[in-house]
């Protein structure tokens, strides 16, 4: 970690933590675009003109005196070259741009050097700065950043497996580097899905949830990494053939000999013993096989995580968009409003939140009590409930009377659904008709429903003088689901 600040200036990241950090970031990304355009030395005048032409609107918000308040010591201070009148906008813009250019050079993002032959100032960018500028540009770009490395690795190894030329060892090293990049991309994808899933838990607005899913997750995760890795660079299609080629190399003494011979031509391996080179090659092949085996399994987990996140978004939107008119729905909306207020005011205590205060004032809580003889007269007095023995029931009925009363209860229950009661029920509904259906039977309570069901059974068994014929398996009638039957009166035979 100490070597990091030996390679880069200590205040390199200071511009990205100042008040006008967005303007400094715009200036750095513009420098990277200029580097990609010219691909050679950059004149300071070209950089200044680019910032003036592209950043006139954003630079109108920039104030040099305000920016100087963020300077921590005298070494950071950059003085204005001249005092420009406020009404001279062109000169003001030129002064601001020159201030920013010299400020970034002071922080170590690049070096401004004058050519003594023509007195032209050039901007030279260190390697660490180019890499950081590339990262800044990728973070602000919507262009997909994943390349089909799985197919590239498989194609290169397959070609070397067929030709066995002098580039086998270099192809093996490229495969090792590609495997590390693929594994990091898979890890990044997994972490991004988890990040968006965690952010979803704090979303309390259905529109915010939809925006996060379709505008942020789809662009930054799905389109950039998930779909390219799943469709264009299918791990399931190319990982196993790649592992098969590497296993073949690992088992072939002839191929290992070729790899060792090519490895010994590399400057880094010339002083090593042959046994050590063989060991490193075998370890490299085994590491690539292990990585491809791991990422194949890891991508199955990513598929599951992506499906779970998509389902969670759908459930969240449905929940937040529901219009439940019941008491539970209203309580949910109250809790949602309270959660929004607590989230929007993290610095306030619960007593200081207005909606929470109104909620506590609107709800009244009472202790459980009971009514006694003192509750009906003034003055009212409160007392605590006392546990006491239950009062005994007087047993004035002897055993014989109890048995007779119980038999009467059983007889009444049985008579409610006896054959005669069933026949009387059907007769009352049939009246002077010869046939009726279930729709013609009057059902006002559960007892009448039971009588109709028993009527169907008794008619099928021939106990009552009616015939029951099924018309449909299921109908909805009087709030019940039941079969549709037709009752037909049996004709009396004349002897």
Which of 53-57, 79-83, 173-177, 336-340 comes out lowest in average pLDDT?
Answer: 79-83
pLDDT of residue 386: 67
Helix and strand tally (H, E) in the chain? 19, 6
Q: How confident is the model at residue 72 (pLDDT cuts 50, 70, 90)?
A: confident
Q: Give the position of tokens 């059983």.
A: 410
Choose among 49, 44, 48, 52: nearest CA to 113: 44
- In this prediction, residues 128-156 reach a mean pLDDT of 78
Q: List 113's β-bridge partners, or say none.
A: 122
pLDDT at 384: 62
What are the structure tokens assigned to 155, written together?
């194609």
For 420-449, write each residue's pLDDT tens digit.
888 888 888 888 888 889 888 888 888 888
Band of residue 383 on the pLDDT scale cut at 50, 70, 90: low
How far, in Å, CA of 201 to CA of 209, rounded?
A: 10
Task: Give the distance from CA 121 to its chain's centroid.
Answer: 50
pLDDT at 202: 79
| pLDDT score of 308 more than 50 | yes
Region 200-204 average pLDDT: 80
Element (H, E) at 467: strand 466-477
Query: Is the pLDDT reported for residue 380 higher than 60?
Result: no
Higher pLDDT, 296 or 376: 296
Whole-number pLDDT of residue 495: 46
Q: For position 320, what pLDDT does the model report?
A: 75
> Can you give 193-256 as a three-state secondary structure string?
HHHHHHHHCCCCCHHHHHHHHHHHHHHHHHHHHHHHHHHHCCHHHHHHHHHHHHHHHHHCHHHH
CA distances 491 to 427, 434, 465, 466, Å, are 14, 9, 8, 9
CB of 338 closer than 8 Å to CB of 356:
yes
pLDDT the model gives residue 493: 53
Answer left, alpha or beta for residue 224, where phi above 0 means left and psi between -120 and 50 means alpha. Answer: alpha
Separation in Å, CA 92 to CA 66, 69, 86, 467: 15, 19, 7, 105
**3-class DSSP state of 386:** coil
**CA angle at 36 for the pair 31 and 39, rounded to the nearest 5°:** 110
Percent of the chain with pLDDT over 90: 0
Q: Average pLDDT over the chain, rounded to whole?
A: 80
Angle (deg, nearest 10), helices 253-263 and 235-251: 90
Query: Greater confidence, 213 or 286?
Result: 286
Cβ 57 vs Cβ 94: under 8 Å: no
DSSP secondary structure letter of residue 350: G
Mean pLDDT of all residues in 40-59: 86
What confidence score (pLDDT) does residue 194 get? 84
Q: How far apart, in whole angstroms, are the C-alpha atoms of residue 301 and residue 272?
A: 42
Tell me the two tokens of residue 180: 């590390």
Range of weakest confidence among 83-92, 123-132, 267-276:
83-92
Side-chain-side CA neighbours of residue 230 (13 Å): 16
DSSP bridge partners of 178: none
Question: Residue 182 half-sphere exposure, CB side, CA atoms within 13 Å?
Answer: 32
Pairwise CA distance, residues 286 & 311, whole Å: 38
Q: Is the pLDDT of residue 403 over 80?
A: no
Higher pLDDT: 414 or 38? It is 38
pLDDT at 376 over 70: no
User: pLDDT tens digits for 451-483?
Assistant: 888 888 888 888 888 888 888 888 888 888 888
Q: What is the pLDDT of residue 220?
A: 77
Would the pLDDT of 272 be above 50? yes
pLDDT tens-digit readout, 218-230: 877 887 777 777 7
Instruction: Extract the runs of DSSP E, i.e. beta strands, from 116-159.
Output: 121-124
Condensed to tens digits (0 to 9), the pLDDT of residues 2-47 reads 577 777 888 888 888 888 888 998 999 998 888 888 777 788 888 8
Determine the average pLDDT of the residues in 63-71. 84
What pLDDT is recorded for position 365?
A: 44
Kindly report which listed range (9-13, 249-253, 396-400) carries the lowest average pLDDT score: 396-400
Per-residue model confidence as pLDDT tens digits over 317-372: 887 776 555 666 667 777 777 788 877 887 777 677 777 777 666 665 444 555 66
The predicted pLDDT at position 74 comes to 59
| CA gap 295, 209 in Å, rounded | 30
Q: Which residue has the tokens 């920016």?
A: 67
What percentage of the chain reaches a pLDDT higher than 70?
82
Q: Which residues contact 280 (CB under 8 A, 6 or more apart)?
A: 263
For 110: left if phi > 0, alpha if psi spans -120 to 50, otherwise beta; the answer is beta
Give the tokens for residue 256: 């290992």
CA–CA distances in Å: residue 453 to residues 447, 457, 468: 10, 7, 11
Mean pLDDT of 375-385: 59
| pTM > 0.75 | no
Q: What is the mean pLDDT of residues 165-183?
A: 86
Helix (H, G, I), strand (E, B) or coil at 481: strand
Strands 121-124 and 42-43: antiparallel
């Amino acid at each position: 970690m100490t070597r990091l600040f030996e390679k880069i200036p200590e205040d390199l990241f200071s511009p990205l933590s100042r008040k006008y950090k967005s303007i400094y970031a715009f200036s750095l990304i513009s420098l990277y675009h200029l580097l990609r355009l010219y691909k050679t030395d950059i004149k300071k005048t070209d950089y200044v003109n680019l910032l003036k032409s592209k950043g006139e609107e954003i630079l109108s918000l920039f104030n040099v005196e305000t920016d100087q308040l963020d300077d921590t010591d005298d070494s950071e201070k950059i003085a204005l070259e001249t005092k420009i009148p406020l009404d001279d906008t062109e000169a003001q813009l030129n002064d601001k741009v020159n201030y920013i250019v010299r400020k970034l050079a002071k922080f170590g993002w690049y070096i401004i050097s004058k050519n003594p032959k023509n007195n032209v100032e050039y901007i030279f960018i260190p390697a660490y700065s180019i890499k950081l500028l590339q990262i800044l540009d990728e973070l602000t770009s919507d262009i997909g950043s994943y390349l089909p490395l799985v197919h590239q690795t498989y194609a290169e190894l397959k070609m070397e497996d067929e030709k066995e030329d002098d580039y086998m060892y270099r192809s093996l090293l490229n495969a090792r580097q590609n495997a590390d990049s693929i594994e990091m991309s898979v890890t990044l994808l997994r972490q991004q899905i988890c990040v968006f899933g965690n952010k979803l838990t704090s979303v309390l607005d259905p529109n915010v949830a939809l925006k996060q899913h379709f505008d942020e997750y789809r662009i930054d995760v799905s389109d950039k990494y998930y779909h390219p890795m799943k469709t264009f660079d299918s791990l399931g299609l190319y990982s196993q053939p790649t592992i098969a080629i590497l296993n073949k190399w690992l088992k072939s003494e002839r191929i290992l000999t070729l790899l060792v011979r090519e490895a010994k031509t590399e400057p880094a391996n010339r002083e090593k013993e042959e046994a050590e080179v063989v060991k490193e090659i075998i370890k490299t092949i085994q590491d690539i096989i292990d990585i491809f085996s791991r990422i194949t399994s890891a991508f199955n987990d990513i598929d599951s995580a992506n499906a779970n996140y998509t389902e969670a978004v759908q459930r969240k939107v449905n929940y937040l968009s529901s219009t439940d008119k019941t008491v539970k729905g209203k309580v949910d909306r109250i809790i949602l409003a309270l959660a929004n207020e607590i989230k929007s005011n993290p610095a306030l205590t619960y007593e200081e939140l207005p909606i929470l205060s109104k909620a506590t004032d609107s709800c009244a809580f009472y202790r459980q009590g009971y009514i006694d003889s003192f509750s009906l007269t003034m003055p009212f007095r409160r007392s605590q409930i006392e546990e006491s023995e239950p009062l005994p029931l007087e047993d004035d009925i002897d055993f014989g009377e109890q048995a007779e009363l119980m038999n009467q209860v059983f007889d009444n229950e049985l008579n409610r659904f006896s054959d005669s009661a069933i026949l009387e029920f059907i007769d009352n509904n049939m009246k002077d008709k010869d046939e009726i259906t279930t729709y013609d039977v009057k059902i006002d309570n559960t007892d009448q429903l039971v009588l109709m069901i028993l009527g169907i059974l008794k008619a099928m068994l021939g106990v009552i003088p009616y015939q029951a014929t099924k018309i449909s398996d299921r109908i909805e009638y009087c709030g019940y689901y039941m079969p549709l039957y037709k009752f037909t009166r049996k004709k009396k035979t004349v002897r």
